[in-house]
Structure 1
């Protein structure tokens, strides 16, 4: 009897199911998908989720635009796992093939996508906590909640993603150890923090560590800038000519939090026209105002679903003799499986890949939790 071999379609559909079960960040953010084929490096315009302001009705309504806000996202990432397979593997049933090959392959892809989404912390200027001190108390969650409340983030669809050290400390606290008193013991049995103070809490090993520039160690830095602009000049009389600012460094001026949007190097203690987000307030120029820097830190994140975005598009089937299939899911993910034969090495190969880009959509709807 002839063997019935697995097809690209069967493998792609099974791989997509397993990929979704391995995601952390990708399951918590806004996703955008269409069936239009794209290539690596293409830039597309993505409509941002609409936000509105509730007006006091005064006799006539104030019409608000819907869907006018958009952002350009570059599809600059392909997560790929390619493996050599033989007739033995391809003659397995799909469940056995999934356990032997697809579990490891999709976990690797999920890790890559999660790493890129966690890397968006560099766009977020708002923060709570202290760099170098691991969050370990319910007040650390409360402080993140406070930042988001001040920024008027919606109460629904809030998530917090913690690094492993923070999770280990938080789940040992009384407010979680005593979870059984409220009828739920998930925190004890699964080390899952559940929903606390409006956040659905998760642990992610891919949470990033930010290494701040050397300029942030200076204590006499003053800021100057023109009102309403997205740039600031920093000056230190004690600074050296080689002090650096790194993209993602956070600092406070007049009680407002900012993030550096690019790397910069001081010249005799001065960093001129450093691009920042958000803009300086529009009511007055900033003149010789002291600056407080955030230090190097682990960048756990609290965010509303619409703060960050994952954009996915299907890759075209390859030309030539290879067989390929693109599986898509209703929540905006695609995965391509290509099967081929390399004549130079005389090996059968399967390639599993996905094309995507990540973007910060609304920085105001997120905060870093420094650790």
Structure 2
């Protein structure tokens, strides 16, 4: 659908009524005068973009980056030539877009998205901030440009994950800005052919993860910077859902298979990154959701077992074994699931089961680094 046609529909009117005044996309943003406050902000972000090029956390898989760039362009439309998309390997849920057109998408977000539409919802929200030039408004609301420059300039080491996080957090928008970006994001999603209802599901899923952590206090703003300045979580979820349903378009393809194929070569590594966070409540909520969305997902079931094993709370050994056994019968489970089962059987003294599990592991990974150790267990168990 053409952008001008979409804006004229009653669906857009419904969004405007629920989330604020109507909005139309601006002309392509031109580079500002370097002597202006906005020009200074662009210069700062240009410097951070150069640092990002050297970051060890930057994903350099051409196919993966092209996939995310294509989604960004599908949403940004005529602004696509101004946007440069970078995929950053970090297990945290995040995406951000700087005023100079630098878009960061973190792998923790891609891992959590159930389909391409959910990924597009977050990217579209960030494009909304960019198109509305919210970062410039935030800068002008600050006490002085030098204060903002100091905040961005304190980045300690170029390319570190902490540095990338600091840049990502530099744009803490007001709740009014967040509501406006939500509305723009829904419009961009629908215009690009994505079902807008997926936007509210992203928010609900992230909140459910935070609530699953043992130190949950009931205040999401203290657990994630994404909730600190955004509208109250329940309000936001409700408004996004109501606006999306008013727009209709629920029959649009969320492109689940496209996302899964794009991240497939990296998904296991990203799941390993997730467990290294040692936020097992959040990880279990994520992995439990992935296995519910796709009960045939052997890889997610294996990592669900790993999360229980590593958490090691009361009853977790039995939960881990159940998840491993389920994974072992499903496609996509790594051979390590048999090693994990073998270890549980060995500790419980179930020697026949141990031998069977270890034999299956060695058959799949005969040259594994721990193969000799596993063979020694088999000899001792004979």
> Structure 1 length as normaliser, TM-score?
0.20
Higher helix share: 2
Higher strand share: 1
> Structure 2 length as normaliser, TM-score?
0.19
